[in-house]
Structure 1
Amino acid sequence: MTSLPSILLRATTTRRLIYPVHALRCQRTFATSKTLSKTAIVSGSGRGIGKAIALRLARDGFDVCVNDLEHNSSSVESVVNEIKSLGRNALPVYADVSKCSQVESMVETSVAALGPLDVIVANAGIAKIHLGLDATEADTQSVLAVNFYGVLWQDQAAAKQFIKQGAGGKIINCASIVAFRPFPMSPIYCASKAAVRSLTQSFAMELAKHKITVNAYAPGIVDTQMAHAADEIYGVVDGLPKGSFLENAKSMIALGRTSVPEDVAKMVSYLASPDSDYVTGQTMIVDGGIVFS
């Protein structure tokens, strides 16, 4: 999920998990020793930032549960195949993160197929562009259902699994630069990301005794399909040609360019690694140095 406010980019319903848990228990062909195999779940990883994170973690030595909605199955299968080409195992699981029961099943399915869980990246998210006065009940509920409740359910399910395993773990949430400084015309999205930042801090305190770290990453303006969709809407609102918003945004960024998904994936790689073992409760900004006027 990019931090730049955008039109609704993912549906919030799905029909089923692709693999029932019982069907996967016989498919383990890997060592379960944590010294030999690491596993991660990355939600919303069929494309964009989530895809880049899944591929980076695979390169870091993780077997990856690739999650998205079932209507994105072709993209998910492509990510799974790419991970396997890197020599790691990958599992596609279609689940709606706004549904607690589906998130719980996703974690169970991943553990049954890939082994004990080490990392969860609660990346899935959606956004809509509109004035606060135009926010509808349905739009507000859909954004909060994925961006806040979805993160909550993933954090809960992963934490329970980590506690059951007894060896700690890492929870990594997707926040946004708007958790620190809101963008215009996206008040509900901004509020949902601020809530993720607060939830991250609270869970970090609560779960520290279980050797579980909880951190978040906060992307800035990321060059993805989501950003280009938002660019079109901002262009209509401001009466500017297509591409103008993204081009003008570069003037706000100290490094002079919008980011790419791989920029964000590098931060997640750090948060998922032993190098971050003494880091918890933090929301790490990855924005190239955005300067607001």
Structure 2
Amino acid sequence: MSDNQNAQDSKTTATKVAVVTGSAVGLGNAIAKRLAHDGFKVVIHDINEDNLKKAEKELTDAGFDVSAVVGNVLKRDDQFKLAKHAVDTFGRLDVFVNNAGVESVAPFLEIEESEIDRVFDINIKGVIFGTQAAAEQMKNQDGIGKIINACSIAGHEGYEMLSLYCASKFAVRAFTYATAKELAKYDIRVNAYCPGVADTSMWERIDQAFVEHKGYEPKQAWNEFTSGILAGRPQQPNDVANLVSFLASEDSDYITGQTILTDGGMVFR
């Protein structure tokens, strides 16, 4: 079945609206596409305007209801404008995916203050501000709202060379637990998805950092991290999108405060 036919079929029942931050490329883009296929009207968002325009065109050409917003997740005003744009454009806001994030790969003793600020601003402040913006809208709507955060296996396990990234993702995990408790009275569910080793440009950068700092051969880190995956292959973006699709759906209405691993069998909690 073609994307256009899928879009037409979906739009016959599309009543819900989703926002996905950092969705021009990578995992966020796969998530946005999957939610569009699921029947959501989708607001895609990114700081990179050129990539965002390409993503918007691809979804629009496929016949989906999509709108694009350029913004920076670490700016609180941008996040509230993003939520408002969803409501002004599509009438409401049902799902908000705090997907935007950055990696940081370096020996712990070499981490500088500017790098700490960069990672925490995007990976933690971005999730906090997005959750605030989404919750302020969702608590005044009918129905169950879904806030879905990007965590990681690095939010469950510490990894050499990834100490700062792990710290930021452990924070997202704790934040997910706490906000699920605080927002439950508004019928807002807060959960997180925790990817493993995904075949994206982020892992290309991680692999290169191991080459530079540890003297690894190209792809050595990638091979070490992926060799023990029980599913027998590295993760693809659609593997993550499948979990987010479930968390965004009515099938997950009874689930909140969970940080769910989707890693093919790497970390067990």
Q: Which structure is higher in RCO with an 8 Å CA cutoff and minimum separation 6?
A: 1
Structure 2: tracts of 5 or more residues without a match: 1-12
Give, in whole Å, the separation in 1 of the partners of 2:100 and 2:267.
27
1:43 alignment partner, one of 18, 21, 30: 21
* Deviation at residue 85 of structure 1 after TM alignment: 3.0
2:253 alignment partner, one of 257, 266, 277: 277
Q: Find the residue that maps to 2:159 and give its secondary structure.
A: coil
Q: Alpha carbons of 1:225 and 1:36: their partners in 2 closer, same or farther (altered >3 Å)? A: closer
Residue 38 of structure 2 is matched in structure 1 by 60
Residue 259 of structure 1 is matched in structure 2 by 235
Give, in whole Å, the separation in 2 of the partners of 1:129 and 1:36.
41
Residue 121 of structure 1 is matched in structure 2 by 97
- Residue type matched to 2:31 in 1? I
Residue 197 of structure 1 is matched in structure 2 by 173
* Deviation at residue 240 of structure 1 after TM alignment: 2.7
* Deviation at residue 291 of structure 1 after TM alignment: 5.9
* Deviation at residue 87 of structure 1 after TM alignment: 2.6
Give, in whole Å, the separation in 1 of the partners of 2:179 and 2:161.
29
Give, in whole Å, the separation in 2 of the partners of 1:74 and 1:117.
25
Residue 98 of structure 1 is matched in structure 2 by 74
- Residue type matched to 1:103 in 2? Q
* 1:149 counterpart = 2:125: yes
The 5 Å alignment of 1:83-232 reads 83-232=59-208
The 5 Å alignment of 1:243-258 reads 243-258=219-234
- Residue type matched to 2:221 in 1? F
Check the 8 A contact 1:203/1:214 in 2, yes or no.
yes
Identity of aligned residues (%): 41
- Residue type matched to 2:42 in 1? V
Give, in whole Å, the separation in 2 of the partners of 1:128 and 1:289.
23
Check the 8 A contact 1:252/1:291 in 2, yes or no.
no
* 1:268 counterpart = 2:244: yes
> RMSD value over aligned CA atoms?
1.4
Q: Runs ≥4 in structure 1, deviation > 3 angstroms? A: none
Check the 8 A contact 2:23/2:32 in 1, yes or no.
yes
Q: Deviations over 1:173-210 (max 9, x none)?
A: 00000111011112111111001011111111111111
Structure 1: tracts of 5 or more residues without a match: 1-34
Tell me the matched-pair count. 256
- Residue type matched to 2:71 in 1? A
